[in-house]
Structure 1
Amino acid sequence: MALHFIDESVTAVAGDTIALAGAEAHHAAAVRRVRPGETVTITDGRGAWIEGEVLSVDPSRVEIRVVRRENIARPTPRIQLAQGLAKGDRDELAVQAATELGVDAIVPWQAARSVSRWQGAKAEKGRARWQRIAREAAKQAHRAWIPEVDDVVTTAKLAARTQDADVVVLDPRAELPLTRAEPSHDRDLLIVVGPEGGIAPEELHALISAGARAAQLGDTVLRTSTAGPAALAVLNAVSGRW
């Protein structure tokens, strides 16, 4: 089934007719080539999940009759990813894969060794780009919830998040395996991944001093684009999500 997104304001129920317009209509008609009679799934990215039958197709408007609607609860506790900014598209690859693997929120981190710098207008531009990547990856993965991308944070602000979440820093030198770093049942879990140059010693100290734990993913060193998604796969398995 093809998956498309609609505006959050749409409150369609079974029997109603809704329409995809703009870029979504063009994607459905010209890229996915949906046809009348085909079944599609639609979500607002906030838990609403609609199954519908395509009634008519035009590059500017695709009409769909709602067959069934349900509201899917947000997963709890949430698994979040603090991704260190990296050069090239390494961090963007991490955002894409992490979204496909079920991450619930993404925090851009301006680490000491980040080559990429998000400052001024570039900070909002970068956050918006990550949000678009997450949206498209959620569409590809047929997710009912699109992970939210926060504003870029400093190490100090990242350390402060230990007040509300179990923070686990991925460090290849750590003794604790990630498989034994399960979160509590009433607090979110925030996984921290450094940039390509790794996490600076003073940053690791600041995070640990604030209450974070260090954990390792086996005995190899993964790229910044790989570590977060690999951690999510492990946590999905040990937490029972998979």
Structure 2
Amino acid sequence: MFIAQELGDGPGLTLDGPEGRHAAAVRRLRAGERVDLTDGAGRVAECVVREVAKDALGLDVLRRYEVPAPRPRLVVVQGLPKGDRGELAVEMMTEAGVDVVVPWPASRSIAQWKGDKVAKGLGRWRATAREAGKQSRRFHLPEVSEPATTARVAELLSGAALGLVLHEEAAEPLSKVALPVEGDIVVVVGPEGGVSGEELDRFRAAGAVPVLLGPTVLRTSTAGVAAAAVLLTRTGRW
């Protein structure tokens, strides 16, 4: 699968730029092979390679269609982890089906994006989401938003159909929480040091429910995808 910003409406398409170069020079696609294109927002073009140039493909379009956005939407607020664990978390959550990832510099985050680190960190997370979305054949690519302050996270939770905070001392298991069929489910995943008491109180005041993911304590890089698996199964998206 390849990503193209414009899918047109005629009988043919040209896949060029970095995607076309990768298809022609790295993947070495040949005339007659099937290729699917998406704009990342639900539009899909099923194509057959007509001709191959050095860094582009000429395609014949078999059909175009649109894939509805999945509901309810799953938003994961990811506390900034150290090292490359952020990219690992984004990759796994993208493959699982998370719709929005929100970077959160929590009070206990060891890593902090400041100055030019913001653009660099966002660039890495967004590139990871794009590549993981292609690999997992997602026609709706996930959004990686701008970093959110704790106040902004509280706003997201307040406006959600359901707000959840993963916490090791919560009494209610994630597997038992009543789920909405529409709107946003917002899940907060703390960093290595967890969600602070002050942050938890603020999120509770915004209407969020602290939930227990399971009997073990997961790393911040794996907690999001584990929670997503539970929620996507229970909502029927899986």
Task: With the length of structure 1 as denominator, give the TM-score of the two structures.
Answer: 0.93
Regions of 4+ moved over 6 Å? none
CA contact (8 A) 1:41 1:52 kept: yes
CA contact (8 A) 1:167 1:212 kept: yes
State the match for 2:223 in structure 1: 227
User: Counterparts of 1:235 and 1:105 in 2: how far apart (Å)?
Assistant: 14
State the match for 1:170 in structure 2: 166
User: Counterparts of 1:18 and 1:160 in 2: how far apart (Å)?
Assistant: 43
User: Counterparts of 2:158 and 2:181 in 1: how far apart (Å)?
Assistant: 15
> Which runs of structure 2 are paired with 1:1-242 in the superposition (5 Å)?
3-7=1-5, 9-13=6-10, 16-165=11-160, 166-242=162-238
Write the deviation string for residues 151-181 of structure 1: whole angstroms up to 9, x where unpaired: 1011111011123212111112211111122
Q: Secondary structure at the match of 2:200?
A: helix
**Over aligned residue pairs, what C-alpha RMSD do you find?**
1.3
Write the deviation string for residues 28-65 of structure 1: whole angstroms up to 9, x where unpaired: 12322211101111100010011100111233111111
Q: Secondary structure at the match of 2:213?
A: coil
Q: Which amino acid aligns with 2:120?
A: K
Q: Which amino acid aligns with 2:172?
A: L
Q: Which amino acid aligns with 1:185?
A: V
Q: Which amino acid aligns with 1:206?
A: R
* CA apart distance, 1:183: 2.9
Identity %: 46
User: Counterparts of 2:228 and 2:54 in 1: how far apart (Å)?
Assistant: 37
CA contact (8 A) 2:7 2:38 kept: no
CA contact (8 A) 1:82 1:191 kept: yes
User: Counterparts of 1:215 and 1:163 in 2: how far apart (Å)?
Assistant: 16
CA contact (8 A) 1:124 1:151 kept: no
Q: Which amino acid aligns with 2:112?
A: R
CA contact (8 A) 1:164 1:187 kept: no
Q: Secondary structure at the match of 1:160?
A: helix
1:50 to 1:203, Cα distance in 2 relative to 1, 3 A: same
User: Counterparts of 2:96 and 2:178 in 1: how far apart (Å)?
Assistant: 17
Q: Which amino acid aligns with 1:225?
A: S
Q: Which amino acid aligns with 1:4?
A: F
* CA apart distance, 1:184: 1.9
* CA apart distance, 1:10: 3.1
User: Counterparts of 1:18 and 1:236 in 2: how far apart (Å)?
Assistant: 35
Aligned residues between the structures = 237
Q: Which amino acid aligns with 1:143?
A: R
